């Protein structure tokens, strides 16, 4: 698991310091570029999750140029920053379909909210992060989990199992547990096919099963966790036993 990766394009050292102070605790700044060339290099090397771009770099609209590069190679959410209220710049920026457009000086709460909103727009689930605590979004084989003010990335393949807790779910990886405001049923409708229901309270990642014990209606995960299998899922248990043995 890791934090959201942010790429920054900004040529002002003072503004970079401000952005780092605002963002470093909740997010991982994967790189800071001072011009278009550095930005494209970092983008290709670091695979960020979101880009924060100053529109004007050394008096030129390199932020817009770089946004066009992103949209034509590997689209990710884009936030534009600028000192300018020039209408022509706004129109040019708008053509790149940014997820937000913020004026400097940057407000800490505003930019954090804008980042969450940008991610929501990207997966077309408005309000999932910005209005709920302990929320989660599925994006590109990853689960984004909001824990306090921090967005954490958990690869779906690294999830061992999910456990129902009324309207919530506990999500277990090899070394962590997350409480998420989303029902087990909702997860069952969107997770990949290698996640199967073994009990009314559990969904398990079959790729993380170490052994199956049909006689005891139990299975053991690779982390040593034992989980019960309901009688209703006995057929599935036998199928898993055939596959895993």
| End residue of a domain, out of 94, 122, 150 | 122
117 with 36, same domain? yes
Give the span between the Cα atoms of 95 and 101, in whole angstroms.
Answer: 12
81 with 16, same domain? yes
Count of structural domains within the chain: 2
Give the span between the Cα atoms of 72 and 64, in whole angstroms.
Answer: 12
112 with 65, same domain? yes
Query: pLDDT tens-digit profile of 110-144?
Result: 898 888 888 877 776 655 565 566 778 888 788 88
- Residue 128 domain-assigned (yes or no): no
Q: What is the mean pLDDT of the chain?
A: 85
Query: pLDDT tens-digit profile of 63-114?
Result: 999 999 999 999 888 998 887 665 555 555 556 566 677 888 888 988 988 8
Domain ranges, residue 97: 2-122
Residue 238 CB contacts under 8 Å (≥ 6 apart), including other chains: 214
185 with 76, same domain? no
Query: What are the tokens at 19?
Result: 């952005």
Give the span between the Cα atoms of 100 and 169, in whole angstroms.
Answer: 31
pLDDT band at residue 175, thresholds of 50, 70 and 90?
Answer: confident
| End residue of a domain, out of 122, 141, 173 | 122
Res 231: pLDDT: 84
CATH number at residue 191: 2.40.50.1020
9 with 103, same domain? yes
| End residue of a domain, out of 122, 142, 172 | 122
- Residue 129 domain-assigned (yes or no): no
CATH number at residue 21: 3.40.50.2300
DSSP secondary structure letters along 156-217: GGG--EEEEETTEEEEE-SS-EEEESS-HHHHHTTS-TTEEEEETTEEEEGGGEEEEEGGGT
């Amino acid at each position: 698991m890791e934090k959201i990766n942010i790429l920054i394009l900004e040529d002002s050292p003072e503004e970079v310091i401000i952005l780092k102070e605002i963002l470093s605790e909740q997010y991982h700044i994967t790189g800071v570029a001072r011009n278009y060339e550095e930005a494209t290099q970092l983008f290709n090397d670091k695979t960020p999750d979101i880009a924060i771009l100053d529109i004007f770099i050394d008096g030129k609209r390199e932020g817009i140029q770089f946004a066009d590069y992103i949209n034509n190679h590997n689209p990710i959410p884009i936030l534009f920053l600028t000192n300018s209220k020039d209408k022509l710049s706004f129109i040019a920026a708008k053509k790149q379909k940014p997820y937000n457009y913020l004026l400097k000086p940057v407000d800490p709460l505003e930019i954090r909210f804008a980042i969450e909103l940008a991610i929501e727009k990207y997966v077309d689930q408005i309000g999932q992060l910005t209005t709920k605590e302990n929320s989660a979004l599925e994006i590109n084989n990853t689960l984004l989990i909001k824990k306090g003010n921090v967005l954490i990335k958990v690869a779906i393949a690294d999830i061992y199992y999910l456990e129902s807790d009324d309207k919530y779910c506990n999500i277990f990886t090899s070394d962590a547990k997350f409480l998420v405001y989303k029902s087990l049923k909702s997860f069952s409708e969107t997770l990949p096919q290698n996640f199967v229901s073994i009990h009314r309270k559990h969904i398990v990642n079959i790729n993380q099963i170490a052994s199956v014990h049909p006689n005891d209606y139990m299975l053991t995960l690779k982390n040593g966790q034992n989980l019960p299998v309901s009688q209703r899922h006995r057929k599935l248990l036998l199928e898993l036993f055939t596959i895993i043995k």
